[in-house]
Amino acid sequence: MSFWNSLKNNVSSLSSNLQTQVSKFKNNDFANASMAVCALIAAADGSIDPAEKQKTAGFIMSSDVLKVFNASELKQKFDGYCQKLEADIDFGRVEVIQAISKLRGKPDQARAVIQVGVIIGGADGHFDELERKALREACNAVGISPSEFDL
């Protein structure tokens, strides 16, 4: 069974497992990388749609997976990364990837961040090729094969 079929069939199990993992990774680099990957997915098509940004912020604020962090601090981080991407998509992308790459050498945390990205990308029921490409870039930044996530 492919990763995506498995994800569809086991979303609640994945979220529960991810929630357990995230509680072990309560640190600033993980929080930054999580919000950076959320912003990267939001900007996957080259711009950030206000409705998509609002939906992603809503997920961040209400997510059981991320509840170990202060939700308003996470939203500030997400908004900051979005602002950087909106100001200059190329330089913003560099900053976002740098934040994600701080988890290189921490494979458990890196995988958890990629899983957060997968959940964000699939939250609207449609995980398009641009979102997959953004997650492949995030995988490369942390040294994890995108094929591990069927990307």
Query: 77: pLDDT confidence band, cut at 50, 70 and 90?
Result: very high
Which amino acid, residue 60?
I
Residue 134: its pLDDT value, please?
Answer: 94
Query: 78: pLDDT confidence band, cut at 50, 70 and 90?
Result: very high
Average pLDDT, whole number, for the chain? 84
Structural domain of residue 124, as residue ranges? 3-143
Q: Does residue 151 belong to any structural domain of this protein?
A: no
Contact yes or no for 102/62 (Cβ under 8 A)? no
Q: Does residue 149 belong to any structural domain of this protein?
A: no
The HSE-up count of residue 22 (CA atoms within 13 Å, CB side) is: 22
CATH number at 114 reads 1.10.3680
Q: Does residue 71 belong to any structural domain of this protein?
A: yes
In sequence order, the 6+-apart residues with CB closer than 8 A to the CB of 31 are 69, 73, 74, 77
pLDDT at 22 over 70: no
- Token pair 């909106």 is at which residue? 86
Q: Does residue 44 belong to any structural domain of this protein?
A: yes
Cα separation, 151 vs 133, whole angstroms: 8
CA-based R_g, the chain, Å: 14
pLDDT at 13 over 80: no
Q: Does residue 69 belong to any structural domain of this protein?
A: yes
In sequence order, the 6+-apart residues with CB closer than 8 A to the CB of 76 are none
Number of domains in the chain: 1
Mean pLDDT to the nearest integer, 122-145: 89
Least confident range of 1-10, 33-42, 106-115, 129-138? 1-10
Q: Does residue 148 belong to any structural domain of this protein?
A: no
Q: Does residue 95 belong to any structural domain of this protein?
A: yes
Q: Does residue 97 belong to any structural domain of this protein?
A: yes
* End-to-end alpha carbon distance in the chain: 14
Cα separation, 71 vs 35, whole angstroms: 11
130's tokens:
């641009």
